[in-house]
Amino acid sequence: MHEVSLSDFMPDKHANFQLYRAPSDAIEPSESASGSTSTSVPLATLDDRLLLAGDTNAIQYTSTNWGWGASARAAPELRRETRGYSGDYLMGIYDKTKKQVTLRAVPLFTLNRSIKALANLSSAATERGMHNDFDYTRARRDLGEAFGNKKQKQAARNMDRMKVNTENMDNILEHVASGIGESASTLPTEKELTASLNTSRALPQAHLDATEPAGVYPLESLVPMTVLNALHTRHLLKCTTQAELGKALRVLPQPSPWLLPRLWQIVQTAQNDAGNTSRAMELIRIGYYVAILLAFRKYARGLSRHGEDGVSSISQKMRLPDHERDIVMEHLVSHFAEQSRGSQRYAMTATGDTRLFASILVVGLHLEDFSIAPEAPAQELSVTTQRFVDT
């Protein structure tokens, strides 16, 4: 059983069709469309190459879409390209005795038709032309010159002018190939391209193969340890209230609905749990670094307005201690700002602002043990909760 797809014609009702099959590893004849088979020839299956052919005295019908690659065992892309359709066609067979319909997968053949007389004439003409070294294109050209009108003659001359002389193409191709080879030798390697991309990207690079949350955005990839270790935070342990902690954190912009309460919790933990002081002190340094990022985000747009003194002016507004100022500002402007070519002037661009915003979020995840409610941090950053979640 099979189905037939026809484009713009209907086969002659007297056409006699036959189905031929060949396994994927050999070619052998198979059954006819009527279903008559010999005991030595198996029935055709969807794993075979199939050919549906039929003819009348004048017309030949031949299927074109069940050759190599149409087998059900072929790769899906190859099978879809060969058959001309995806999936399977199902035919419903109604059993009158059982009063039920059985669905069976059947091939869908695309039929082409050809005129037998024209096919024979074309074959004979081609064969005769090859033996006689006869150029039909040149013959038509000569007839057009002899009997054509002005428009046809002009079209023939235009065709002659458009012809390409291919005699020297080999030399040109060799020259082009050598040029490609020389240019390819100067291309950056995959490692260099990856490093360049990571440097220019606005968002921190995520390590998707990490086995724990802290490994997705490692802290050392977000802030250099030299910068983190240069932050002095021991004096924060002497604070007795949250308000006193806010005054001690001179760089933290006020008010602070998220960072200050969270940092006060960490300071209290360090004061009351002597056995976990090292982890608490690390979190205090992380919180202090987030405070520095928040302060830099508040004043960074003024970098370009102060010319070459922009870095110094911003560091004074951020109220950084003298022993931290140089190393912290060098890190901030090199990582988040862009320097004008040929000058010492820095400017904050949209890409740098996005990189700074994303860094605050990611470092904040380390501070919150990778579980953070978006409302308070969004208020601290003066953005909507939706933007905080989307970033």
Q: Is a pLDDT exceeding 70 seen at residue 15?
A: yes
Q: Is a pLDDT exceeding 80 seen at residue 3?
A: no
**pLDDT grade for 122, boundaries at 50, 70 and 90:** low
Q: What is the mean pLDDT of residues 265-286?
A: 85
Q: How do residues 61-119 score in pLDDT, each as one tens digit? A: 888 888 877 877 788 888 888 888 888 888 889 999 998 999 988 888 888 888 887 76
Q: What is the mean pLDDT of residues 168-182?
A: 74
Q: Which amino acid is at 184?
A: A
Give the residue with greater pLDDT, 136 vs 210: 210
| DSSP 8-state code for residue 372 | -
At residue 37, the pLDDT reads 41
Q: How do residues 325-380 score in pLDDT, each as one tens digit? A: 999 999 999 989 988 776 778 888 888 898 999 999 999 999 998 888 889 999 99
Q: For the whole model, what pTM was predicted?
A: 0.51
> DSSP characters for 9-37?
----TT-EEEEEEE-TT-------TT---
At residue 204, the pLDDT reads 79
What residue has token string 């002389």? 165
**pLDDT grade for 199, boundaries at 50, 70 and 90:** low
Angle at CA of residue 221, ends 218 and 225, nearest 5°: 100
Q: Is a pLDDT exceeding 70 seen at residue 261?
A: yes
Distances 27 to 49, 51, 73, 345 between C-alpha atoms, Å: 9, 12, 17, 77
Using CA atoms, how far apart are residues 59 and 9, in angstroms rounded to an integer?
Answer: 12
Average pLDDT of the residues of the chain: 81
Using CA atoms, how far apart are residues 342 and 334, in angstroms rounded to an integer?
Answer: 15
Neighbours of 234 (CB within 10 A): 8
> CB-based contacts of 304: which residues, under 8 Å, 6+ apart?
310, 345, 346, 347, 348
Percent of the chain with pLDDT over 70: 81
Backbone φ and ψ of 152, nearest 5°: -65, -40
Q: How do residues 284-328 score in pLDDT, each as one tens digit? A: 999 999 999 999 999 988 887 766 678 888 999 999 998 999 999
Q: Which two tokens stand for residue 210?
A: 């990490």
In 3D space, the residue among 82, 63, 77 whose CA is nearest the CA of residue 24 turns out to be 82
Helix-then-strand count for the chain, H and E: 17, 9
At residue 11, the pLDDT reads 84
> CB-based contacts of 115: which residues, under 8 Å, 6+ apart?
58, 59, 60
Q: How do residues 140-173 score in pLDDT, each as one tens digit? A: 777 777 777 778 778 877 777 777 767 677 777 7
Distances 92 to 34, 89, 135, 272 between C-alpha atoms, Å: 18, 10, 55, 78
Backbone φ and ψ of 325, nearest 5°: -60, -50
Q: What is the mean pLDDT of residues 187-205?
A: 67
At residue 294, the pLDDT reads 95
Give the residue with greater pLDDT, 8 vs 298: 298
Query: Cis peptide leading into 107, omega within 30 of 0?
Result: no
Domain positions in the chain = 1-24+43-128, 131-162, 219-390
Q: Is a pLDDT exceeding 80 seen at residue 200?
A: no
